[in-house]
A and B are shown apart, each in its own frame.
Chain A
Amino acid sequence: MSIIENHKTNGAAFCENPKLKARNVGVFYGEKQAIFDVSLDIGANEVIALIGPSGCGKSTFLRCLNRMNDTIDICHVSGEILLDGENIYDTKVDVVPLRARVGMVFQKPNPFPKSIYDNIAYGPRIHGLAHSRVDLDEIVEKSLQRAGLWNEVKDRLHSPGTGLSGGQQQRLCIARTIAVDPEVILMDEPCSALDPIATAKIEELIDELRENYTIAIVTHSMQQAARVSQRTAYFHLGQLIEVNPTDQVFTTPEHTLTEAYITGRFG
C-alpha cells in the first residue's frame, strides 16, 4: 500500500487538556522521510497507545517526544512538539532536563550493572534531586513502591539489578524512570520481552501511574493497547491514520486501514 495523498488523520487527534502537542511533525533519516505531517495531542494523565505494523513510524514518533532521535546523526525532525506549550526542539532547550521530564522505558529491560539501589539513585544524584542520604533513601523506596517492586527487593537493595527476573528488571527500569519525577513516560514495547504474569503486573502499574503521569506506549499487542489505553493512535507507513477512544477503535474503527490492521488482515 502506498502513501496516501493529501492524507488527513481520522477521528480526534486533539484533546482538551494536552500535555504534549505534536504539530506537523516530520522525521527524516537523511533523504528518507519516515514520518509525514503528524499532528497529535497527548492529554494530561492519559495513556495513549501507538499501534501499527512494523516500520510504520510509531517508535520513531515516540522517540521524537523526548528528542531521543537526536542521538542519531542523520535524523532530522521538522514541525513542532510542545511540552506544556514550550517547543522542545527550540535551540535553548537542554535535552538532559528534558529527558528527566519526559522519561523512557525500553523494550528490553536495561538495568545498569549496579545495585538495585544505585540503579534508582543514579538519576536523582545526577539531577541533584536529593540533598542528603535520607532524601535519597526516601526517593528509592518511593520509586520502588510506585513501580510495585518494593516488597520483592527491600531486603536486597544492594544486590545487582541484573540479578532480578525479566519482569522485575522492567519494573526496576520503570522505578528508575519515575525516580527523577518525570511528567511524561514514554514506553516502547515495555512488555514484549516479558511473560504474561510480568506483563499483567506492568499493565496494572501503567494504570496506577496514570494518576500522576502522562503515558504514551508503543505496543505490538492489540490486546494490550485495548487494556491499558484511553486513546489509540494508528500509524501506517509514517502517517497517522486514525486517533480515537480505544474502545471505539477496537469495535468500530473509522478507517479501513485501522480495521484491516486490528483484525489481522495485514501487519
Chain B
Amino acid sequence: MEMNFNQHISGQFNADLEAIRNHMMGMGGLVERQVANAIEAICSGDTRVADDVIRREDEVDKMEVTIDHECTQILVRRQPAASDLRMVLAVSRVVRDLERIGDEASKIAIHTLEVADNSSNQLCQQAMRYMGAEVVKMISGALDAFARHDVDGAIDVVRNDKLVDQQYASALRELITYMMEDPRSIGQAINILWILRAIERIGDHARNISEQVIYLVKGTDVRHSSLTEIEEQAHKE
C-alpha cells in the first residue's frame, strides 16, 4: 500500500508525524555512533573514546523521553488511525530499543575501561571487531529500512542477527578454552564476555527495530516469530 505522510488535511498533523520520525532518526544516528565508538574503544584500548561514550549516554536517554512524549501528544490530540497509528506505535517502540542499544554501548565502554590495562593481549579481539562492525551495520540497515518502508531491508537485518548469534556462540567457546587453559585469564575473560554479550544484545535490538518496519508497512506484528515466519508475513499481499 502506498503511504504518503504529507497529505493530511491538517498541516500540523503532518508536521507532528514528520517530527517524531525525524527525531527518531536523529536518535538512531547518535546511537549508531555510540556503538561504533564503543567498539572502536574496545578494539583500540582508547579510554578517551570510552569516556566520551559513557558521557553521551545521557543524551540518548533524554531523547527517548522527549520522543515518547511527542508520541503521546499525537495519540491524545489526533487519535491517529491505520498507517498513522502504526507509525506512532512503531516510533515509540523503536526509541525504546534505541535507548537500550545506547545502554549496551555504554556498558561496552565501561568494561573497556576495566580491561584497558592489559589490552595488549586482549582475548577474542577478532570476534569483537567482526561482531561489532556487523551490529553497527544492522542498526543503520534497520533505520534505513524504516525510513524507506523497505520490508526486504528489514528482513536482511533479521537474517544478520542470526549470524551475530552464531558468532557469539563461537566466541564463547573460544573464551571458555582460554579460561580452562589459563585460570589467570578468567578475570579478563569475564569482562570480555560481558562485552560480547552486549554486542549480541545490540543485534537483538536492531532486529526488534526491523520487526517494527514490518509492522509499519504490513500491519502484522512479527515479534517473537522465526525468520521463516517473518518472511512469509512480509511477502503476504
Chain A residues within 8 Å of B, Cβ to Cβ: 222-223, 226, 250-253, 256, 258-260, 262-267
User: Are B79 and A253 in contact (CB-based, < 8 A)?
Assistant: no
Query: A250 touching B9 by the CB < 8 A rule?
Result: no
Query: Given A223-B79, A252-B219, do A264 and B86 touch, yes or no (CB 8 Å)?
Result: no
Interface string of B177-216 (1 = CB under 8 A from A): 0000000000000000000000000000000000000000
Contact of B9 among A223, A251, A266 (CB under 8 A): A266
Beyond the given pairs A250-B81, A265-B9, 12 more chain A to chain B contacts, judged by CB atoms under 8 angstroms and listed by A's residue number, are A223-B79, A250-B85, A251-B86, A252-B218, A259-B83, A262-B81, A263-B81, A263-B84, A264-B13, A264-B78, A264-B84, A266-B9
Query: Nearest chain A CB to B205's CB is how many angstroms away?
Result: 24
The answer to whether A256 touches B219, judged by C-beta atoms less than 8 angstroms apart, is no
A254 (CB) vs chain B CBs: closest residue: B1
Residues of A within 8 A of B81 (CB): 222, 226, 250-251, 262-263
Please encode chain B, from 121 to 144, with 1 for each CB lying within 8 Å of some chain A CB and 0 for all others: 000000000000000000000000
Cβ-based interface call for B8 (8 A): yes
Q: B residues 77-93 with Cβ under 8 Å of A?
A: 78-86
> In whole Å, how far is A110's beta carbon from the nearest beta carbon of chain B?
30
Q: How far is the CA of A49 from the CA of B7 in the complex (A)?
A: 25
Verify if B2 is at the interface (C-beta below 8 Å from A): yes
Of the candidates A222, A226, A251, A260, which one forms a contact with B7 in the assembled complex, judged by CB atoms under 8 Å apart? A260
Please indicate the chain B residues that have their CB under 8 angstroms from the CB of A267 in the complex: 9
CB distance from B167 to the nearest CB of A (A): 36
* B13–A251 touching, CB < 8 Å: no
CA distance in complex: A253, B218 (Å): 10
* B228 located at the interface, meaning its Cβ lies under 8 Å from any Cβ of chain A in the complex: no
Measured in the bound complex, the distance between the Cα atoms of B80 and A251 in whole Å is: 9
Q: Among A223, A256, A258, A265, point to the contact of B8 (Cβ < 8 A).
A: A265
Instruction: Give the distance to chain A from B7, nearest Cβ to Cβ, in Å.
Output: 5
B10 at interface by CB-CB < 8 Å: yes
List of A residues within 8 angstroms of B4 by Cβ: 265
Residues of chain A within 8 A of B79, CB atoms compared:
222-223
Residues in chain B near residue A252, CB distance under 8 A:
82, 86, 218-220
Closest residue on chain B to residue A222 by CB atoms: B81
CB distance from A3 to the nearest CB of B (A): 20
**Distance in Å: Cβ of B91 to nearest Cβ of chain A:** 16
Contact A251 B1 (CB under 8 A): no
Write the nearest CB–CB distance from A50 to chain B, whole angstroms. Answer: 17
Q: Which of B10, B82, B218, B220 contacts A259 (CB 8 A)?
A: B82
Do the beta carbons of A264 and B9 come within 8 Å of each other? yes
Contacts of A265 in B (CB 8 A): 4, 7-9
Q: Which of A223, A251, A266 contacts B82 (CB 8 A)?
A: A251
Closest 8 CB pairs of A and B: A252-B219, A262-B81, A265-B7, A263-B84, A250-B81, A259-B82, A263-B82, A264-B8
CA distance A258 to B81 in the complex (A): 11
A256 CA to B3 CA in the complex, in Å? 9
Roughly how many angstroms separate A143 CA and B176 CA in the complex, as a whole number?
A: 78
A residues less than 8 Å from B7 (CB atoms): 260, 265-266
Question: Given the complex of chains A and B, what is the CA–CA distance between A258 and B86 in angstroms?
Answer: 15
Contact (A263, B1) CB under 8 Å given A251-B219, A252-B219 = no
